[in-house]
Chains A and B, each alone.
Chain A
């Protein structure tokens, strides 16, 4: 498969622990943000999104937090499982131009 995680920052967590993945975005005009998960050799899959009029949004086992003051986004994964191992990207969508951060590899230790 495609080694998309090669050379990316890596977060290693113990199975069952909570994971926090952070992202800094660059464009103050961005008003919509998305987190994606990418497994090796596959296209990114949508996890959760948040609009700029919100600070927090929860999904199933995942929570996204948005701090517009410091242009920071985070993804929290509760009770991390081996299937969560992947590369995670944040994306912003200013002016309908969807752009991505560099990504972080999440590695789950059994």
Chain B
């Protein structure tokens, strides 16, 4: 089945540690996105990538990093510089261009203690 997969669903880390969230898609989509969701805040864009080996900062990129070495994969690293990392993280993908719906993964709930 085609789709977009995020893993793990729940993730716990100690404060000060970097952590990487996985996002894989087999939809042959060029564009991929990472969002953060907090209660009452909607979805805020962290990073996005329109093509392999290229990505752009979204609205809240500070404390995060990404890579796009393969078309299928767009991992997100939450670094120790992110001051409030506990949140629900959502990955999405779409065909390239501005008039295409995005398909979402089921999200990763990150809790930093």
Residues in B whose Cβ lies below 8 Å from that of A100: 35, 42-45
* Residue pair A89, B96 in contact (C-beta under 8 Å): no
Q: What is the chain A residue whose CB lies nearest that of B37?
A: A4
Contacts between the two chains (Cβ within 8 Å), count: 80
* Segment at the interface with A among B11-19, B76-84, B86-94: B86-94
* Residue pair B39, A7 in contact (C-beta under 8 Å): yes
- 19 contacts across the A-B interface (CB closer than 8 A): A2-B37, A2-B88, A4-B39, A8-B39, A8-B40, A32-B99, A36-B104, A41-B107, A44-B43, A44-B104, A49-B101, A95-B98, A96-B31, A97-B58, A98-B92, A98-B94, A100-B35, A102-B41, A103-B43
Query: Number of residues in B with C-beta < 8 Å to the partner?
Result: 34
For residue A27, give the distance in angstroms from its CB to the closest CB of chain B: 11
Interface of A is mostly: loop
Q: What is the chain B residue whose CB lies nearest that of A5?
A: B39
* Residue pair B101, A6 in contact (C-beta under 8 Å): no
Q: What is the chain A residue whose CB lies nearest that of B90?
A: A43
Q: What is the chain A residue whose CB lies nearest that of B88?
A: A2
Query: Number of residues in A with C-beta < 8 Å to the partner?
Result: 32
A→B interface (CB under 8 Å): 2-8, 31-32, 34, 36, 41-46, 49, 51, 89, 91, 93-103
For residue A33, give the distance in angstroms from its CB to the closest CB of chain B: 10
